[in-house]
Structure 1
Amino acid sequence: MKRVFLLPVMLILAFSILSGQTFRISGRILEDKEGKPVSAATLLLRPDGKQTVSDNLGNYSFTLSAGSKEITTRHLGYKSVTLKFILRSDTVINIHLQVSPFELMEVQVIGEFTKSVEITPRGSFLVTPAAIRETPKLFSEPDLLKSLQMLPGVSFGKEGTSDIYVRGGGAGQNIIIADGCYFFLPGHLLGIVSPLDLDFLESAELYKDYIPSVIGGGASSIINLDFRKPHSDSLRAQLRLGLLSSGVTVEVPFKRINLDLTAGLKRGNYSLYAPLLKRIVRDDVGSFLPPDKYSFYDSFVKLSHESPKAGRISYLFFGNYDNGKDEAKTTGEHNDTLFKYTDGIVTGWNSMVHALQWEPPGNGQYNWKVNLNYNRLAIGRRIYSESESFVNTTGEKIGSSTTLYSFYPAINNIGLSASLIRVFNKTTLSVGVSERYRSFISNNYATHSIDDVEDRNDLGGNDLVNATLLFFSVAAPLAEKFQADAGLRISGIIIRDGGFFIAEPRIRFSYKPGSLISPHINYVRLSQDDHSVEGSNAGLRTQLWLPLYKDFGPEITDILSAGFQGQINNNFIWSLDGYLKRTSGMLDFKPGASFIFDTSFVDMVDRINLRAYGIEAGLIKKTGKLTGSVSYTWSRSKREWYAPEGLMWIPSTADRPHNLSATLKYHLKEKTSFGLNFVYQSGAPATIYMHETSYGEFFETKNNIRYFDYHRMDFSFRQTVYKRRFSIDIDADVYNVYSRKNTFYFKKTWDEAEKRYSYKNISLFPVMPSLTITIRFW
């Protein structure tokens, strides 16, 4: 393993020596009036044919030979800028963009520059709705997380779900940030539908390699969201009619008062056809589908105001609701007694994000940003069983009993942060401080009552966590061709009965970023002070969020990675990376952990470590009628397991030795395009019970089996019809073209002939055609 990892490092040194004479162009993209950094701006350099995108601080860079050059910048809402110059040495060029409203035709032109996923010079992946429009989708749903599953180093969970595992980490170690607010989100409809709807977003950036110290909070990756902005001077609206969900978004610019409003609402359609669906599908599939009255909603509202005196002020609301109830009522008689039985289960979750962000007026060298936010997540399940007995002739009640298991924890979070960006000649310096207050409300209990006499067992208690954070980062060129990025996060965490101090250093060295061959090496330390604990077996997954206790502190991850990144003309981007990853302080349920008999979370969990390593390769074709990408990842992810004979290492839930993804998009005409996906992934680890006794079922080792290898092919067709005041997008998808029976879970069944139990492979999605109609008004 060490030899495999050392190979990229040795090649870095070799290419550094053998490279010829080149120079570096770098700088920042800034707003003309306020000097605010502009992220996700596209820069095209001619005649070399190179292209790049500015990062979240507005930084960009090219490495190329000397001669006459021309840089063109494009970004939605800004006037295009073209600069001509002669390159004779390393040069710093800061480009100032003027805000400009634009109409439909400008959106189409800019779309040519954003129809592929971008890799920034620091190794993050930038995704826009336009970049993945032609990519085939399950049920034609515009799902961000499923789009991220196609990237190098990212694998998915169960068939059709939106879970992502980044470089062998857990699904709960991927933190989402929007306007400075940190939050977690479950999925809808067994995890098949993600709340992160692409129709709500302007762009998203996945950090998994080098992560700047201004962001953090996740032990595996960070997903930074930029919600939708107005695209014209007039009212615009969009209506999407899909199979699993339908939604509407509006854009309302109030130019007289410099106020922009965007909003969106998505509703699940499952309840409309659930009764019919359960009649069509097999019983072993329909038995665990959500109840007929299951529903979910996602919504967002974003307001932003900008003026020379006030600077830029924005407010974001992002809300999610998920709820389902299944109840069965039966009756029975015995002699003169009537029995009434009620059995039911209520599942669901809800979340809300309120984020207020202020960027005071700046002078181009000093830029402030202040964030105040609140978010809440409540997720759980309630299972109940009631019985009543009556005298049949008189109706007199003679007895009752009730059993209830309630699991509804909630997390409330209040955050406040302030940061300053200082730009020197070739150096960008960032400093900041943040404060986060979190309350964990347990709300987990079990009750049993007979004739209104109740016996109750509460699990855990309410907890408070206060985290104070200081961060510092710097980006600067070294010598002639090297770029250095470094940072440090220092956290002080106070809990009810203790405290923790954490330092997170981060550093990246790269050679000639933006060139044909750009070697780099990174070291990043990450910490996460919210624990995600998963119950994993061959059935369906459960997940629990826990705060810090003095018995177990934060999760700490150290990542060492090295590799190459390059651009070939303006047509291809390629990357090759190797990584080593170690995480300490993760939590896992102990064997036999019980929400009924245990009285605290500490009694239910073990503290474990994880180690992962792998090699990632990716290639993106950006221009032309045929675009697309291909990625391959070889990796291993193992975790500790406390077996009776001692500590041992077993595959983690994210262990996928082989992961191959290929996407092709063909633009036949401006209005017509096709897409093709192929996905192959090693089977996921799972747990089956090996022993059955009078006390219950047991397994000796977790993740003791592996599902069958996963593969499928998808196809898509997109057609746009333009009219004077509106357009119609027709999105047709065929998921799993050759109807591969990929495993969703193993169901335990009794074989009457063999007189023994066996496990049956349950697959949810055969070949699955779908259609979505989107109408845009302007």
Structure 2
Amino acid sequence: MKKRFVFLFVIIFSAGSAALGQTVSVRGKLFDKESGRAISNGAITINPGNRSTITDMNGEYLLNCSPGIKQLSTQILGYRQLTIEFSAKSDTVINLYVQVLPFELDEVTVTGEQVKNVRITQHGNLVVTPAAMHETPKLFSEPDLLKSLQLMPGVITGKEGSSDIYVRGGSAGQNIILSNGCYFFLPGHFLGMISPIDLDFLENSELFKDYFPAELGGGASSVISLRFKEPETDTLHAQLRLGMLSSGITAEKQVPELNLNIAAGLKHSNYWLYYPFLNRILSEDVVKYLPHSAYKFFDGFLKVSHSSEKLGTINYLFFGNYDKGKQENETSGLTGDTILFNLDRLSNDWKSQIHALEWEPPVKNKLKWKFDLNYNRLSIRREAFHQTEKRVSAILFDVIQTAYAFSPTVNILGYSATVSGNSDKFSWSAGLSGRLRNFSPNITVNHVSWQKDVEHSFGEGVKVAEPAAFFSSTYHISRKLQLDAGLRVSGAFLKDAHFIIPEPRVRLSYNPGGAVSPHITYVRLSQFDHSVEGTNAGLRSMLWIPVSKEFKPEVTDVISAGFQGQIKEHYVWSIDAYYKKIDGMLDYKSGASFVYDTTFAEILDVIEGWAYGLETGIIKTTGKLTGTMSYTYSRSKQEWSGPQGLIWIPANSDRPHNFNLAMRYHLNDATSFGLNWVYASGLPATIYMHETSYGKYYNTKNNIRYFDYHRMDISLRQRIIKRKYSMFIDLDLYNVYNHNNTFYFKEVFDWYNNVSYFKSISLFPIMPTLTVTIRY
């Protein structure tokens, strides 16, 4: 394993022996002139050279250019354009202050090329905007953030149709979402196939997967930072989106008299309309896994912000989700002279609400403060019922019933206080944060048979305090050498146990933002939640439990190195190798049973894991043809205690080869085309080897691999612009060449030959969908 790791780094560093031309770095921050608030997602351009960038979540930008007389210009919706001329002789810091436009007579839409593309930050993270996601093909024509991230380097997709992501060999439960200072997890809609993060409400998102500033924590693999939109003008704007799976409405308005910005929206499912179509085109083996026509979900959003010279900026965010589904299947069969009648019933419900308050006081003495207070409640109800009746000559002689109820609920109160400052060569931030969590497992099992009845519950309510302290800094050692370093100390305190985890982070980069920029990074991340994957035969089922005396926190150590660069102003590229070590993960023991075991300690094993890989990507940022192309080589292993002892097996994220192509062609301002092509090695899966008198025998978990996965999607987007409104028509074609990708392996019994075999069941054939969006 060490030889493989060394070999990857030799490849990386040998690939970067390129001559670096003389360049000058221009960096700074973009501010609202009146409130002093930093502005993210603002387009900054330097000429001559026509190089552009977008400010990050802290309003910071970095551009490189040749020495000489230069012009910096800004383009931010709702602000006056600012142009500054200066002489670039050496590295320069220029902070930009822009003024709000007083009013707009008609709607103005800014869709710059940089906004429509994925962006790689100086720290190797990925920024994705809704404009970029809307231009690419989509499943069910549903704009989906997580499915867009699946196309990025270093990110591995889950099962067919799933919105799961595996980042650098981690698990699907090691990714946490951050917005307005609130950390949270969200299940998916449509049994995990559609993420609830609606792009109608989103301004941009950033996937932290390489270097993590010390203020970020809570996810052992990645943090997905969301920034929600604010009104662009003081004119009321509304949007109505009519889709096949869901429809939604949004509205936004500024109230200048009160210095208020208000944005709100509601999305609801149209599944009852789409279900007959799915029922017709999908096989019976797939339809029985999908929700019944009564399935429904809702997403609600509200953001209110106030800005003034006296108070600074105050933001309130509400994000609510509701999901409810139920399905039932009946089957029958014959074993000898015994007729078996089987009834399976499954209910899946979940609810989430997020309230997040953030306050940024006016900047004083060059110090910027930020305070966050938030509340998050997530409740999940998953109930499964199975009944088998045995009859001989219509006489009932045995009934077996098993009922599982997984209804965990977690209430979280979060808080943080951060202060930051900067100078020409040094910027820093420090603060305290924490979460108070009340977790209720609510897991019960009932089993009824002629032999005995079993009824028991798992776990007790747990209260966890999770304080943290952090310090993060950026130091420009020389004109081209930059050091990012920080330390986060995270803790968890329970009634009978406590844990303190130091998390150092460091990144050394040369010539950041230049034509070629080498870097090396080390980070430690911790997580005080455990997610345990169930079976991968069919749709996923995940068990969540908190840290405890028996189950310590999950801790990952990641070292990575590579290069980033630009080719003129048209292409951005990156290549990275990484190695990750994971401690404290949980997995089901061999033979674990909720019926016959009575505690989590009897069901779960504490295991270790490791992963390594090579990820490459290139982004074309300008011209009529834009897009991304990426290749990721990813290996991931985990421990497993089987009948033969402790062994290493492929983890669920172990998909060696992953290639993604996402292209967009802009025919003109009104018409664009999109194309995705995805290839991935088959997912690891588990099937039993043979049956014994005690039941089915599994030699190991993940003992086979599904067939390799590939598909192509295409899309057409037509924009119709009128004086009072604009209309977008999105036509998407998923799985164009109708490839039968494996969803799960179904056991089939051949009565003629008296043998069983496994049949590959595919999920979605070619899927045409249509969405119409009207903006006023």
> Structure 2-normalised TM-score?
0.93
SS in 2 for 1:123: coil
Query: 1:83, 1:587 → 2: CA distance?
Result: 56
2:85 is paired with a residue whose SS is: strand
The answer to whether structure 1 residue 636 and structure 2 residue 639 are counterparts is no
Shift of 1:715: 0.8
**Cα gap change, 1:49/1:377 in structure 2, threshold over 3 Å: closer, same or farther?**
same
SS at the partner of 2:742? coil
Matches within 5 A, 1:142-157: 142-157=143-158
1:663 aligns with: 662
Q: Secondary structure at the match of 1:76?
A: coil
Cα gap change, 1:275 to 1:668, in 2 (>3 Å): closer
User: Do 2:35 and 2:313's aligned partners in 1 also have CA atoms closer than 8 Å?
Assistant: no
Distance 1:524 1:69, change over 3 A: same
* Deviation per residue, 1:22-78 (Å, 9 max, x gap): 322222222223333222222211112322222222222223321111112222333
Structure 1 segment 17-32 matched on structure 2, within 5 A? 18-32=19-33
Map of 1:97-108 to 2, 5 A cutoff? 97-100=98-101, 107-108=108-109
- Give secondary structure in 1 for the equivalent of 2:110: helix
CA contact (8 A) 1:74 1:110 kept: no
How many residue pairs match? The answer is: 756
Aligned to 1:322: 323
Range that drifts further, 69-78 or 296-305: 69-78
Give CA deviations for 1:412-449 in whole Å, capped at 9, x if unaligned: 11101110111223321100101211111011112368
**CA distance in 2: counterparts of 1:720 and 1:537, whole angstroms:** 41
1:477, distance to aligned residue in structure 2 (A): 0.6
Structure 2 CA distance for partners of 1:292 and 1:110, relative to 1, 3 Å:
closer
Q: Kindly state the Cα deviation for residue 280 of structure 1 after the two structures are TM-superposed.
A: 4.5
| Aligned equivalent of 1:469 | 468
Q: Is contact 1:365-1:424 (8 Å) kept?
A: no
The equivalent residue for 1:176 is 177
In structure 2, the partner of 1:65 is 66
User: Which aligned pairs between 1:526-541 and structure 2 lie closer than 5 A?
Assistant: 526-541=525-540
- Inter-partner Cα distance in structure 2 for 1:346 and 1:615: 40
Partner of 1:392: none
Contact persistence 1:241–1:247 (CA under 8 A): yes
2:349 counterpart residue number:
348
Does the 8 Å CA contact 1:152/1:616 hold for their aligned counterparts?
yes
1:11-50 equivalence runs, <5 A: 11=14, 14-15=17-18, 18-50=19-51
Partner of 2:725: 726
Q: Which residue of 2 aligns with 1:2?
A: 5
The SS at the match of 1:314 is strand
The equivalent residue for 2:507 is: 508
Q: Secondary structure at the match of 2:600?
A: coil
1:445-594 to 2 correspondences below 5 Å: 445-447=444-446, 456-594=455-593
1:738-765 deviation line (CA, Å, top 9, x unaligned): 1111111111111112212111111111
Instruction: Report matched runs for 1:43-192 at 5 Å.
Output: 43-100=44-101, 107-192=108-193
**Whole-Å Cα distance in 1 between the matches of residues 33 and 716 of structure 2?**
41
Deviation for aligned residue 1:227: 1.2
> In structure 1, how many angstroms separate the alpha carbons of the residues matched to 2:162 and 2:56?
30
Matched with 1:764 is: 763
Does the 8 Å CA contact 2:288/2:329 hold for their aligned counterparts? no
AA matched with 1:591: S
* Residue equivalent to 1:742: 741
CA distance in 2, matches of 1:180, 1:714: 36
Q: Is 1:379 aligned to 2:376, yes or no?
A: no
CA contact (8 A) 2:220 2:527 kept: yes
- Shift of residue 4, structure 1, vs aligned partner: 2.5
Return the offset for 1:496.
2.2
Which residue matches 2:698? 699
Which deviates the most, 160-169 or 536-545? 536-545
CA distance in 1, matches of 2:277, 2:27: 59
Q: CA deviation at 1:551?
A: 1.8
Q: Which residue of 1 aligns with 2:442?
A: 443
For residues 591 and 342 of structure 2, the distance between their equivalents in structure 1, rounded to whole angstroms, comes to 30
Q: Distance in 1 between matches of 2:420 and 2:768?
A: 49
Q: Quote the Cα distance in structure 1 between the aligned partners of 2:249 and 2:724.
A: 17
Instruction: State the one-letter code of the partner of 2:183.
Output: Y
- Report the AA paired with residue 3 of structure 1: V
Label 1:117 to 1:342 Cα distance change in 2 as closer, same or farther (>3 A). closer
Instruction: Find the aligned partners of 1:525 and 1:207 in 2 and give their Cα distance.
Output: 13
Question: CA separation in 2, counterparts of 1:109 and 1:595?
Answer: 55
Residues of 2 paired with 1:168 and 1:210: CA distance? Answer: 16
Structure 2 CA distance, aligned partners of 1:762 and 1:448?
A: 30
Q: Which residue of structure 2 aligns with residue 607 of structure 1? A: 606
Aligned amino acid, residue 269 of structure 1: N
Show CA shifts across 1:389-426 (max 9, x none): xxxxxxxxxxx998642111111111011101112233
Quickly say closer, same or farther: Cα 1:49–1:702, change in 2 above 3 A.
same
1:186 positional shift: 1.2
1:275 CA displacement: 4.7
Partner of 2:217: 216
Superposed CA RMSD:
2.5
Report the 3-state secondary structure (helix = DSSP H, G, I; strand = E; otherwise coil) of the residue aligned with 1:84.
strand
Distance 1:582 1:665 in 2: 37
Which deviates further from its counterpart, 164-173 or 23-32?
A: 23-32
Looking at structure 1, the residues matched to 307 and 443 of structure 2 have their Cα atoms a distance apart, in angstroms, of: 46
**Rounded Cα–Cα distance in structure 2 between residues aligned with 1:624 and 1:304:** 36
State the AA in 2 paired with 1:643: G
Shift of residue 387 of structure 1? Answer: 12
Whether the 8 Å CA contact 1:60–1:121 is kept in 2: the answer is no
Distance in 2 separating the partners of 1:286 and 1:489: 47
Alignment of 1:325-336 (within 5 A): 325-326=326-327
Q: Distance in 1 between matches of 2:627 and 2:71?
A: 27
> Does the aligned pair in 1 maintain the 2:133–2:145 contact within 8 Å?
no
User: Any idea what the Cα deviations from partners look like across 1:92-118, whole Å, max 9, x if unmatched?
Assistant: 111122233675987533433311111
Kindly report which structure 2 residues correspond to 1:285-300, keeping only aligned pairs within 5 A, or say none.
Answer: 285-300=286-301
C-alpha spacing 1:645/1:772, structure 2 compared with 1 (3 Å): same
Equivalences for residues 211-290 of structure 1 within 5 A: 211-275=212-276, 277-290=278-291
Distance 2:388 2:287 in 1: 26
Letter in 2 for 1:744: F
Q: Is the 8 A contact 1:298 1:320 kept in 2?
A: yes
Percent identity of paired positions between Structure 1 and Structure 2: 53
**Matched residue, 2:711:** 712
Aligned 8 A contact 2:528 2:546 in 1:
yes
Q: Distance in 1 between matches of 2:400 and 2:557?
A: 52
Distance 1:135 1:486 in 2: 36
Contact 2:322–2:352, Cα closer than 8 Å, also in 1 = yes
CA contact (8 A) 2:35 2:312 kept: yes
TM-superposed deviation, 1:385: 6.7
Unaligned stretches of 5+ residues in structure 2: 332-340, 390-398
Counterpart Cα distance in 2 of 1:321 and 1:488? 37
User: CA distance change for structure 1 residues 386 and 629 in 2, over 3 Å: closer, same or farther?
Assistant: closer
* Structure 1 Cα separation of the partners of residues 54 and 105 of structure 2: 22
Q: Check whether the contact 1:306–1:313 (CA below 8 A) recurs between aligned residues.
A: yes
Structure 1, residues 109-130: CA drift from partner, whole Å, max 9, x if none? Answer: 3433311111111111111111
Q: Partners in 2 of 1:64 and 1:722 — Cα distance? A: 37
Q: Is the 8 A contact 1:525 1:557 kept in 2?
A: yes
Decide whether the 8 Å contact of 2:489 with 2:500 is kept in 1.
yes
C-alpha deviations, 1:669-716, integer Å up to 9, x for none?
101111111111111111111232333223111111111111111111
Match of 2:618 in 1: 619
SS of the residue corresponding to residue 291 of structure 1 reads coil
Aligned mates of 1:289, 1:252 — CA distance in 2: 39
8 Å Cα contact 2:476-2:483 kept in structure 1: yes
Query: Structure 2: how far apart are the matches of 1:762 and 1:344?
Result: 21
Q: Is the 8 A contact 2:79 2:100 kept in 1?
A: yes
Please list the CA deviations of residues 156-186 of structure 1 after superposition, one character each: whole Å capped at 9, or x if unmatched.
1111111111111111111100101111111
Runs of 4+ aligned structure 1 residues displaced above 6 Å come to: 340-343, 385-388
Contact 1:50 1:567 in 2 (8 A): no
